[in-house]
Structures are given as structure tokens and as C-alpha cells.
Structure 1
Amino acid sequence: MVEFYIGTVDEMLQSTLISAFPIALLIWMMTKQRALPSHIALPITALLVGLIQLFYFHSDGRLLGANIISGVLSVLTPISIVAGAILLNRVLAISGAEAVIGRWLDSISNNKVAQLMIIGWAFAFMLEGASGFGTPAAIAAPMLVGLGFQPIKVAIFALIMNSVPVSFGAVGTPIWFGFEALALSPSDLLEVANQTALINAVAALLIPILALKFVVSGSLIRQNLVFILLSILSCTLPYYALANWNYEFPSLLGGAVGLMMNIFLAKANIGLHTTQNTLNKQTKVPSREVFFALLPLGLLIVILIVTRISPLGIKGLLTSTNAWLGIDIGGSHLGVSQSLVVSLENILSTSVSWSYKTLYVPALIPFVLVVLISIPLLNLSKTQVKEAFFETGQRIQLPLVSLAAALVMVNLMMLGAEQSPIFLIANAFATLTGDSWSLFAALLGALGSFFSGSATVSNLTFGGIQQTIAAQVGLPVNLVLALQSVGAAMGNMVCINNIIAVSAILGIHHKEGFILKKTILPLLVYGGVAALMAIVLS
């Protein structure tokens, strides 16, 4: 039995309950009958966590302030990505390119299931492998809305779908960087990747089907089940095969192979219900129109891939931390590197720091860059350009508040190292489950993603504690780390940050709690599959 003592057992229990209370309150506020919108519920929660840290845990005021500043500054990363995605979406919509893409996809197949699987599964799978940072939902979700699907249903669908590929998102960052501090051997890291891919691939036989149920009827799913299964396997088989020898490219190449196979299967009408998949030959879209409409998205993908594969050398140029400018502000140091990495170190004379990779975060490059190229390419007028920028500014105002509050809350929940609220909650899980921990390990990974909005951060935060628990109770360490990685991926579907982001991109207002309630069930199913696979693999 694993036990983590902080003072007496009663003190530990009290501290754990107090730590968990703000999260329980947040979930209640956002899911109750008259739910509070996230831009109200999250600031309240962040304030409560701050008060608990100050008056119950007696955290240092300066350290508390530094984490609040870091949290507020950290909002620049997600909000700039969201703004870039919205801007590109508005440019495509206003120019008419979105309508052309919709007609082209309709000409491939007007079967709704085929459209959802091509864009929401295979295309998003590839995007996650290239970039991560929430870009799959940011790009794929508006395309599906453009095809006539309801925004709220698309938001739920996109969040659930963007889980399986996340373990190897952004060229495998959650694996190779997320577990970097654990000093794993190359063979151990590859075993973690392989088992992660296997568990995710098994879960993938159910998760896309659950996601589809939020958008189309059960009868439509049954009628097209063969296509759905072929679509799933066309991504997950190469994904798993690649994970046997590499942990950077499973999602990227698995998604690319899957996308090509999906288009082929849809065009050949394989596995699709024939009466619902009559090809619209009479409405075939001219190739030139399709080319120019898809060109911005093609540029986006190419730039994402080129800037994220280290051997090409461009990634290093965009992320260099070699100092260019620097200035001391009180006890803090504000610096700008040669690659425009902006950093604030030793905030309020503490060890807390913040940085923003201006050229690497997928905002200016590729979103804004592609928008600037697309303006003459799609013949947008000055009035249309102003409209796109104005609508983008309008849409990000409330998400800015929500995301800032969420990031402050996350920083404060992690403050205190092994006596932080987040670690107390994690330790309580471990103490309760003991040597049955492998059945619940994935849920801790999901908890990390729920808080932080990042599978990488979840692995960084909980990788060490998962490794320690596994060693103490005699479980296979690599298997438990794989379950952590799987959990971090599946937690993507309930992450508050992701829910806020996709809602902002689709123009959905005050429905974050509703979306959260809908994505919890698929999360639990995913966790159940992970638990069963843990039994099989151990």
C-alpha cells in the first residue's frame, strides 16, 4: 500500500479535501442547471485557490504573486493560437473559400459519416501530429460547421476525437519531452511509446463511434460501421506500427496515411451506405477553385511540419534562446532572444519564470503568415480584411478572461511542490488504490490535462509520481508511464482550456459546462479501456 504522509493522517485528509474543494466547486458551477459561464466561474475558482494557498497553506506572498503574474502572462500562448485560428477561419469564410471546400467535400461524398471521419478524425489526427497546441480542433471544427453541422455538436465531437493522437502530438513532445526528467533509457522510452500506442489504438475502436453519436443518429452509424472501422484502422495501424521504432512521428504519419485512405474509401464508396452516398457529379467543383480554396490549409500544414521537424534546422532557428536584448526590472529579468523568444525570469525575485516563443507558437507562424499570404491569393478587399480582424477581436475577449483565470488557477494548484493541492489530490488517489494503481493510473494523467490543458505538462507533472508509485507497489514502471501518457491524451477532451478555445473559434457562448458534461462519459469509457489493457499487459 502506498502512503504519503504530510503531518498526521487527519491533517493529510483535511488538506486533501480542502485542495479538492475548488475543483469540485468549479465543476458544479459550470455544470449546474443555471451554469455560470467560464469567464465568471474560473476567476472565482482562481481567487478561492489563491485564498486557500495564502491562509491555509501559508504560501509566501511574493511566490503567490509571481505565480499569478506567470499565469496571466501564459495566456498569451493559447489566446494567440485561438486568435490566429479564428482569423484564418474568418478569412476563409468571408472570401468564399470555405464554401468551395464544403462543395468539394460534398462531391467526394455527401455521406455525413464520411465527412466527419475524413475531417474530424483523419485530418485532425495528422494536424495533432504536426502541431498540437489545440490546432486540430481549431482547423477541423470550422470546416465541419461549414458543411452544415451544428456548432455545439461539432465542438463536442472535435474534443472527443482529439484524444487518441495527442500522446504523439507536436512530433511526439508529450513523450520525449514530457518524460525527459525521468532519465529513461532509449529502450524504456520506446517501450512506453509502444504500449501507449497500443492502448490508444484499442480505445480508438470505441472513441470515434462515441464521438459520432453526438452528431449523427445511431442508425446512420450502424449503416456505415464498416467505413468507420476502416477509417479508424487506416490511422491507428500505421500509428501503432511506427510507435514500435519511433516516438515522434506515429500521429503525423499515421494521420497522413489515414487521410489518403479515407478519401480513397469515400470515393470508392467502400463501407458506406449506398442510398446515402450518391456522388454529386452534377455539382463537381472546378479543380482550380478547389486548389485555391485549399491552398491556405495546405500552406498551413506544410509550414507546421517544416517548422517542427528538428533535423530540418528551422525549429532551432525559431526557438533559439541566445540573448539579444535584456533589461532588469526590480528583481526580474526581461529578455528577448535572437529568435524573439520573450522571457521574464525570477519574477518578483523568485524562481518563477515565463517565456513565449513568438515564432514557434503556432500563431504568427503559421496562422497569421498564412492569412497575410491568403489576402491577395483569395482577392480580399480592405473592407473584408477589416471585417475578419474585427470579428476575431470580438470573439477572443471573453475567452481571454477565462483562459487567464484558468492558467492562474493551474499555477496556484501546483504551488508547493509535494505539498501542493494537485499533488495532495494525486497522493490521495494512490493511497486509496495501492497495488491496484494500474487500474486508475490513466485517470491521474487525465487530471493533469484537465488542470493544465497540456498532455506534455501532465506528463512532466505526474511522470515522477507515477514512476515512484509503480516502483513501490511492484507494478511494471513502463506500463504505468504508458497509462499516464494515455490518460494525459484522453484528458484533452475534458480540459477547460480546450473547451473554451473551441467554443470561441465556433462562436459558442456560455456552453462550456454543457460541453464538459457531454465529454465526461467518453473519458470514463476511455479510462475503462485503459484499465482493462493494464490488466492484459501486466
Structure 2
Amino acid sequence: MTFIQLLASLTPIIGVMLFLVWFRLPASKAMPISLLLTLAAAAFIWKMPTQLLMASILEGLVASLTPLFIIFGAVFLLNTLKNSGAMDTIRAGFTNISDDRRVQVIIICWLFGSFIEGSAGFGTPAAICAPLLVLIGVPPIAAAVVALIADSTSVSFGAIGTPINFGLEQGLKAGGGYVSDGFMQAHNMGISEYLSGIALHASTIDLITGSLIPLVLVCVLTGFFGKNKSFKEGLQVWKFALFSGFAFTIPAWLMNYFIGPEFPSVIGALIGMAIVIPAAKKGWLLPKTTWNDFAEKVEIKHVETQVKYSQLTAWAPYLVMAVLLVLSRTIEPFTALLKSVVFSTGPIMGTSLHQSIAPLYLPGTFFIVVCILGFIIFKMNGSAIKTSIIDSSKSMLPTIISLGASVPMVKIFLNSGDNGIQGLGSMPVELASAMASVFGSVWEFLAPVIGIFGAFLSGSATFSNMMFSNLQYTAADSLGLNTQLVLGLQMIGANAGNMMCVMNVVAAATVVGMAGRESEIIRKTMPIALGYALIAGTIATFWGGF
């Protein structure tokens, strides 16, 4: 690979870094420009056939419909709850649990945020949880930082497993098959089993790394934003913090092991809330004194306790959603029925590329169903329903543009193995070869950092996995490492990158009125993200045979 070819292979990364990070363009502008640059580099330097380039773009456009449908359904449900008044009930329920801001941060950001991540993903938790914290008296910049840090471990299984079932699965595709075909054939497994093994490695490591996140949250809260700048004040609730950490990670691990990667964050968070909230109300594992001593004083906007619905009624759509998801993934006749309706492209433009969608099986369909149920339960009038639909549709336009450019760009990146230069592999394969030759001896430490870098650039753990899983697999295979473990580290790194990715930071800063202070937020979250990756890499290095 020549230097010019190396630059061409790095075009997707350079483009995103330049336009999204350096010039701070919105993703709806940065990603189309990056797509055009990648297309030019692939055509003129990598010598990809025009037919394959066009087919890759079409493949990407069809593939993008899956996450778009999920995102729309999730946003639609959130707007339904908001416009019906049910979200006010949910908010009031959180404020009545404890007066201790450390406890509130753990419950709202770590547990409720993990539930939202599992249901919706794509940066939604920070955008919801940060304003909730401001509402109860947490300074805006502190709210944005802790909400972003909390949205990490649960990202592995966010949006009903999208980072795995879409991100990794699409990223491992190579031509008409998967780069991991050799491994899967040797071990007599299909892609679902292979992905489940990756998810198990990631969730096993997160039994340690993830369980520490609630303790990190409270220490960041008191150490950076408390009046006394004291990390010790955060450590005072270490028992409760670790208890809350394991209350999510253990059920999530069990759900992943026994059922699959769609439900761990959703069910793990629900179980965690069912365990932790009663404990908090009784003061178990908590110090006798509460903490609310911020350096920046914030006027608390009291939430009316006289709300329209009971907590059970307000939570009903989410509970029904969870039940439908579990049934659709565990009851075989129901699963087969939902998967029986399939839309397939067939071979695209005469190539081996193809895409298929089973719309009834997608979580987006279930979101729509529970929204309709919400209309009935909450007795919403036509105006409220119309507002929910319009607001959800309008909010999707930038996402449609971003995903409509991002996925085709990644597809070109992945499908570049078919080119007009003899002996030249695909872009990720060639990059992996170059990087493995330099960093092979410390790849377990590098793997999660690559995941962070991908999420930071692309704004999504899903797209980090999509961009770099091929590279990670190829490097691990050439180095004789456990490919599922290395891909698990990629997942963990992508989760950590979620704390500091540009789009999430911008969204969190905006919703709490801190637009313009994004760099300050990133400076607080970046060390946490790198520490997360370092611990995961250390565990993998010394515990690589698990």
C-alpha cells in the first residue's frame, strides 16, 4: 500500500474529523461531504468499479432504513409521553425518591438512562436525563457531563441491540459474505452465534468496568462541581454506588447470556430500578447525611406532585414494549410469524451485494404499536396526537440526512476489496495490516481506543462498530488473538466514546442551555472514556482466555 493509497483508505476518518470536529459542521452537512470525498478516493485512487460503488451506495441507503425506523419509533414514543403528560408523572416519581443529589444522579442517569438507551439509543438518554437533573437543581454543565458519562455501559445493547445486530453485523460483511466466515465455518456457527459470543465477552468485562460507572458519576459530581471540590464526598456513597452498578450489570449479563443482545439494557435497567429505588427510599447503604452542595447554585424548579396518571399508567407503554420485545425474541412461532414478511433487494446492480428487512420484526414496529396504545391509555385528543407525529417527523430530517450519508460511506469503505489494483485488499483490511505491524504487541489496549475514536468521529457506537469491526477482526486474526474478544473490546471502546462524541455532547449541551461549552464537557468526559478503555484492555490482556 502506497502513501497515497493509505490516505485514500483514511478518507472516511479524515473527512469526519475535518468537517465534523475541526469545522464543527452539523452531521447533516459533514457526513454528505465525507461521503463524496470517500466516493472520489475509492473511485480514483482505490480503483473500485463504478458499478460496485453505486451498488454500495444503494446497499447503504437500504441498510439505513433499519436504524431510522427504530429511531423514529423511539422519538415518537417520547413525544407521545411528553404531549400526553405521562412524562411529567415519570419525572415527579424520580424527585420523590431521595433528596440526595448523588442518589438522584445514579437513579436518573445510570438506571433510567440505561433503560432509555436500551429502548432508543443514539444519544437519547443524555438529551432526556440532563434536563431532568437541571429540573431538580443540578447545575447545567454538571448535568450534561454526568448524563454523558452514564450513557456508556448500556450502549452495547442500545436501541434493542442495534450496535451489535446492525453495527457489528454490517461491519463484518465483506462482499457477499462476512470477513469472519472462516472462523464461523471452523466452529460450526452462524453470524448470530458469532455476534452473541462477542456480546458475551463485552458484557463479562463490563461486570467490572460498567459496575464502576455509578461510583465514577458521583465522584465527578462532587469532585468537579461540588462546593468543596471533594471526591471524598462522592466516595461516601460507595456502597450504594457499587450496589447500583451490579444491580444493572448482573441482570444485563444474564439477559445477554440466556436470551440475546436485544434486551440486556432494557431488562437490566428495569430490574435495577426495581431493586435500587426501594433501597434508596429506605436509605439502605447510604450515609446519614444527604449531599446537595454545589459550587454553582441553581434555582430548583419544583415539579407538581399532583399529576394526571399513576406511575404504573405512565410507564405502561414502556412495560408493554419490553414484553413485546421479549415475546418476539423468545417465542419461536411468534418470531417466525414476524420474520415471515421480508422485503429484499436481491443482488444489487448485478453485484453480490444485497439487503433484506423484516419490518414486523423490527423494534420500530413495536414502538408504533405502543404509541397507538398510548393514545388510548392517555385518552389523547387529536391535537396532541398530531403534535406528536409532526414533532417526531420534523426531528428526523437531520438524522435521515446523516444516516443516509454515513451508511453508504461505510459500505464503500467495507466493500473496497474489489478494486482494480492487484494484491490490494479492502480499506479496513489494509489499515489493519499496517496498524497490526506497528501495534500488534499491545492490540488489546489499542482495540478499545479505536472504538472510542470511531464513536467520537461518527457520533455513534453503532457506526464505530460498523466502520472498524472489519479492521479489528482482520488485525486480531493476523495476530492470532481471540477475534470475539477483540471485537468485544471494540464494542466497549465505542461505548466509552459515546461519552465524548461530538453529536452527543452538542445535544446534551444544547438541551441544558450550555451551547458553546462543548469543549469544556469533552475535557471532563475524555479522561473517563480513556480510563474505561484502559481498564477493559487490562482485563482482556490478563484474562484473555475467558
| Alpha-carbon separation, structure 1, partners of 2:24 and 2:127 | 24
Deviation at 1:78, TM superposition (A): 2.2
C-alpha spacing 1:409/1:175, structure 2 compared with 1 (3 Å) = closer
Deviation at 1:463, TM superposition (A): 6.1
Counting aligned pairs with the same residue, the percent is 27
CA contact (8 A) 1:167 1:485 kept: yes
Partner SS for 2:25? coil
Deviations 1:255-303 (A, max 9, x none): 44322221122111232663359xxxx9766896222222122222222
Query: Counterpart amino acid of 2:95?
Result: D
CA contact (8 A) 1:101 1:290 kept: yes
RMSD: 4.2
User: TM-score, normalised on structure 2?
Assistant: 0.76
Query: Counterpart amino acid of 2:409?
Result: M
**39-48 vs 258-267, which deviates more?**
258-267
The reply on whether 1:305 has 2:318 as its aligned counterpart is no
CA contact (8 A) 1:155 1:502 kept: no
CA contact (8 A) 1:82 1:505 kept: no
Correspondence for 1:334: none
| Alpha-carbon separation, structure 2, partners of 1:153 and 1:348 | 51
The reply on whether 1:264 has 2:273 as its aligned counterpart is no
Map 1:407-418 → 2, pairs under 5 A? 407-417=407-417
Map 1:255-404 → 2, pairs under 5 A? 255-270=269-284, 271=286, 274-276=289-291, 289-307=310-328, 309-320=329-340, 339=341, 341-363=342-364, 365-404=365-404
CA contact (8 A) 1:138 1:505 kept: no
CA contact (8 A) 2:499 2:505 kept: no
Map 1:145-184 → 2, pairs under 5 A? 145-146=131-132, 148=134, 157=146, 160-167=149-156, 170=160, 174=164, 181=181, 182-183=183-184, 184=187
C-alpha spacing 1:303/1:191, structure 2 compared with 1 (3 Å) = closer
Q: Report how many residues are paired.
A: 496
Partner SS for 2:46? coil
Name structure 1 gaps, 5 residues minimum. 1-5, 321-338
C-alpha spacing 1:22/1:394, structure 2 compared with 1 (3 Å) = same
Correspondence for 1:134: 121
| Alpha-carbon separation, structure 2, partners of 1:57 and 1:266 | 58
Name structure 2 gaps, 5 residues minimum. 173-179, 293-302, 418-423
| Alpha-carbon separation, structure 2, partners of 1:190 and 1:107 | 39
C-alpha spacing 1:78/1:405, structure 2 compared with 1 (3 Å) = same
Map 1:408-487 → 2, pairs under 5 A? 408-417=408-417, 419-446=425-452, 453-454=461-462, 457=466, 461-462=470-471, 464-471=473-480, 475=481, 479-487=485-493
The reply on whether 1:235 has 2:248 as its aligned counterpart is yes
C-alpha spacing 1:211/1:30, structure 2 compared with 1 (3 Å) = farther
Correspondence for 1:329: none
The correspondence for 1:41, drawn from 13, 30, 37, is 30
Deviations 1:219-251 (A, max 9, x none): 564454432222112223455577788865765
Query: Counterpart amino acid of 1:298?
Result: L
Deviations 1:377-417 (A, max 9, x none): 21211111111212122211222212211112211221213
| Alpha-carbon separation, structure 2, partners of 1:80 and 1:505 | 25
CA contact (8 A) 2:90 2:311 kept: yes
| Alpha-carbon separation, structure 1, partners of 2:466 and 2:393 | 29
| Alpha-carbon separation, structure 1, partners of 2:351 and 2:194 | 35
Deviation at 1:86, TM superposition (A): 1.9
Deviation at 1:318, TM superposition (A): 1.5
| Alpha-carbon separation, structure 2, partners of 1:416 and 1:511 | 38
Deviation at 1:464, TM superposition (A): 3.8
Query: Counterpart amino acid of 1:161?
Result: A
Deviation at 1:29, TM superposition (A): 2.6
C-alpha spacing 1:459/1:50, structure 2 compared with 1 (3 Å) = closer
Deviation at 1:96, TM superposition (A): 1.3
Partner SS for 2:290? helix
**515-524 vs 109-118, which deviates more?**
515-524
C-alpha spacing 1:222/1:29, structure 2 compared with 1 (3 Å) = farther
| Alpha-carbon separation, structure 2, partners of 1:456 and 1:26 | 15
Deviations 1:473-526 (A, max 9, x none): xx5566545434534544555667x84997799699998986877754433222
The correspondence for 2:78, drawn from 89, 111, 128, is 89
Query: Counterpart amino acid of 1:469?
Result: S
| Alpha-carbon separation, structure 2, partners of 1:108 and 1:370 | 27
| Alpha-carbon separation, structure 2, partners of 1:511 and 1:165 | 28
| Alpha-carbon separation, structure 1, partners of 2:411 and 2:347 | 15
| Alpha-carbon separation, structure 1, partners of 2:393 and 2:140 | 20
CA contact (8 A) 1:31 1:513 kept: no
Correspondence for 2:13: 23
| Alpha-carbon separation, structure 2, partners of 1:243 and 1:310 | 13
Deviation at 1:189, TM superposition (A): 9.0
Query: Counterpart amino acid of 1:231?
Result: S
Query: Counterpart amino acid of 2:10?
Result: A
Partner SS for 2:279? helix
| Alpha-carbon separation, structure 2, partners of 1:505 and 1:409 | 28
| Alpha-carbon separation, structure 1, partners of 2:265 and 2:435 | 31
